[in-house]
Structure 1
Amino acid sequence: MKKAFLLLVSVFIIFSCTKTEEKPDVIVDIKVSKNGYSPNDITVKQGQVVLFRITATDEGISAGYGSSNVGHCFYIMPPYDVLVKNIKKGETKEVKVKMVFPGDFLFTCPYCSGIFPTKGDLHVK
């Protein structure tokens, strides 16, 4: 019983780890600002490895908000649960994600989503 449980947990961990170092199948360039993401509606194929390149075009949240989180971020909601944070003006950060879960998912900036319209839709077909 214990071995079966450990096997199940291992399989879950393997399949739930969507960040990867695999070669990307597609590259998606995203600009983020206080006006939101561009593009804010993205469609990819299930099974693809997507390289998201996120560039901040403005300062986003400043340190004056009392947080160590500054700039913008890019967060794909669970089950992906992928976060790229502290993207400062003019900076580009990258993350590769294996699109294993089909469906429609939200991506957002948790830092400023209550202040600015920073959200978008990710469709995995």
Structure 2
Amino acid sequence: MMRYLIFLLPLLSCYNVKKDCNAFKLGTFEFSTIINGEIKTSRFIRSKSLEVEFYENKVDSASVKWVSNCEFILTKINPKSNQDKRPVKIEILSTEGKEYFFEYSLVNNPKKRFRGKATKVN
């Protein structure tokens, strides 16, 4: 058993996660999630400094501040509640084709993180 582990260890250490974050800084994207057993999809358009989201016939906008090549912070422009006033930190973990996998959390609560996948549609 130990021989197999010694053989596999060098192979596993060569695996690199693909991360082409530049391809996902601008464009139109879709994100789907399950809420109360139902799949909900939002579409958002991201420019250099602005993200506009379309969800269930509502439009919301947020400023975008890139803090590194693969991390950015979204801050709602017209927050309607105290919850909306909290900025969200998003980190792109990996990319594959037209999709990127990400992790997000409130800036002031980094211990409570969620993951998702967004697809570039344009």
> One fold, TM greater than 0.5?
no
Choose between structure 1 and 2 for higher RCO, CA contacts under 8 A separated by at least 6 residues: 1
Higher strand share: 2
Give the structure-1-normalised TM-score: 0.31
